[in-house]
Amino acid sequence: MDAATTSDVRYDPYDIEINADPYPVFARLREEAPLYYNDEYDFYAVSRYEDVERGLRDNQRLISSRGGILELIKSGIEIPPGTVIFEDPPTHTIYRGLLSRMFTPRRVAALEPQIRRYCAEALDPLVGSGGFDLIRDFGAQMPMRVIGMLLGIPEQDQEAIRDRSDATLRTEAGQPMTQHDAFATGEMFEEYIDWRRDHPSDDIMTELLNAEFDDETGTRRRLTREELLTYLAVVAGAGNETTTRLIGWMGTVLADHPDQRRAVVADRDLVPPAVEEVLRYEPPAPHVGRYVAADTEFQGRTVPAGSAILLLVGAANRDERRFADGDTFDIRRPPMAHLTFGYGAHFCLGAALARLEGRVALDELLDRFPEWEVDRDGAAISPTSTVRGWETLPIVLP
């Protein structure tokens, strides 16, 4: 049977009002249109946990090499080599193996003292103030420093690279992303590649410059310049934007649930589960796109080859078939895997680092500011169609 949507529920990923709070629409999709079709933008969407998980796992029929963002999939542009997240096996396996060297458990764990230092540098000057912008003054600072440290980028240049990377994801309110700039950030790393080639160090940039691997043809070689630039653009974008959004959501959700925030202040063993629950409850990337390479069945209906499909992670993470009272925030929720970091071959390589940054950020924030409220009138959601979170988030201190 061909796919069809009989419900009058409407999901538009570019709609400003829906993006401000997508969860009522997500709930309707799960119940009324678990396989949804949007004829305006010509895409399908699935919203139940089991369907989203299966879609993330199926890298044979739902492929990544046409892009993981709806605009890229629909544009048909050629994805440059080295993107990793927008590749399929065998090239994905090869490039992922190289990039995984950045995120070994030992390397990630060793970053904690430095991450705490970055947090202190951002937060200490704010002590005694009546409030501050959690994104501008903290959430956009620490992740940038961590990625800059990993890549060996001088601190004086990190902010410019972060801003350029973030700009590629921004859209005009209510409009799709422009495709031509999607991978432009890599150009900013050219001078660092040249400098690091002549001045090797103990950092990821040097390691990637010298790494040898067998490519999909069996040829032993190093990364080309284009591949390396794309690698760095992917790491800079993914590492900065999503962690910044996580910090913003921690600030918002814990302000909305002050009793649970006070519980975390009193018992720091609750910090890791609190971070995990925020990740489930407000995932920074609420959907993932795939190109349908072969007819695929969801909910007894067929999504035809050649289609674009969105896997609605934000909807799946609140599916009550998987999570009891899924729309309830509960830091004491029994551990159960969510889909915020993906699933299967494309599970986020930086998940351990993001969790560490979230844990340290929350711990250090609570040390200095155990109580706060959010100035909702001054807060603004970031205008992107890929990640979802706060552009500005003024918090008021007692």
- Assign 3-class secondary structure to the chain: CECCCCCCCCCCCCCHHHHHCCHHHHHHHHHHCCEEEECCCCEEEECCHHHHHHHHHCCCCEECCCCCCHHHHHHCCCCCCCCCCCCCCCHHHHHHHHHHHHHCHHHHHCCHHHHHHHHHHHHHHHCCCCEEEHHHHHHCCHHHHHHHHHHCCCHHHHHHHHHHHHHCCECCCCCCCCHHHCCHHHHHHHHHHHHHHHCCCCCHHHHHHHCEEECCCCCEEECCHHHHHHHHHHHHHHHHHHHHHHHHHHHHHHHHCHHHHHHHHHCHHHHHHHHHHHHHHCCCCCCEEEEECCCEEECCEEECCCCEEEECHHHHCCCCCCCCCCCCCCCCCCCCCCCCCCCHHHCCCCHHHHHHHHHHHHHHHHHHCCCCEECHHHCEECCECCCCCEEECEEECC
pLDDT in the model for residue 159: 67
Dig out the tokens for 19 from the structure: 């993006």
CATH topology of domain 16-396: Cytochrome p450 (1.10.630)
pLDDT in the model for residue 171: 47
Exposure string (b/e) for 71-107, b if CB count within 10 Å is 16 or more? bbbbbeeebebbbbbbbbeebbeebbebbeebbeeee
Cis peptide before 90 (omega within 30 of 0): yes
Domain segments of the chain as ranges = 16-396
- Name which of 234, 162, 181 is nearest 204 in CA terms: 234
Exposure string (b/e) for 351-372, b if CB count within 10 Å is 16 or more? ebbbbbbbbbbbbbbbeebeeb
- Name which of 31, 37, 50 is nearest 11 in CA terms: 37
How many angstroms separate the CA atoms of 82 and 345, rounded? 16
How many angstroms separate the CA atoms of 240 and 226, rounded? 21
pLDDT in the model for residue 358: 97
Q: Is the pTM of this model over 0.75?
A: yes
pLDDT in the model for residue 373: 97
**How far is CA 164 from each of CA 33, 146, 174, rounded to the nearest angstrom?**
38, 17, 21
| pLDDT tens series, the chain, 398 aa | 345 556 899 999 999 999 999 999 999 999 999 999 999 999 999 999 999 999 999 999 999 888 888 988 888 777 766 667 777 888 888 878 877 877 888 888 989 999 999 999 999 999 999 999 999 999 998 988 888 888 777 666 666 665 655 555 444 555 555 544 444 455 677 888 888 888 888 777 888 888 888 888 888 998 888 888 887 777 777 778 889 999 999 999 999 999 999 999 999 999 999 999 999 999 999 999 999 999 999 999 999 999 999 999 999 999 999 999 999 999 999 989 999 999 988 888 889 999 999 999 999 999 999 999 999 999 999 877 788 999 999 999 99
pLDDT in the model for residue 175: 52
pLDDT in the model for residue 340: 97
Per the listing, tokens 């999939």 go with 73
User: 71 with 177: CB under 8 angstroms?
Assistant: yes
Write the single-letter amino acid at 117.
R
Distance, first Cα to last Cα, the chain = 59
**How far is CA 308 from each of CA 215, 258, 293, rounded to the nearest angstrom?**
29, 41, 9
pLDDT in the model for residue 83: 67
How many angstroms separate the CA atoms of 34 and 29, rounded? 5
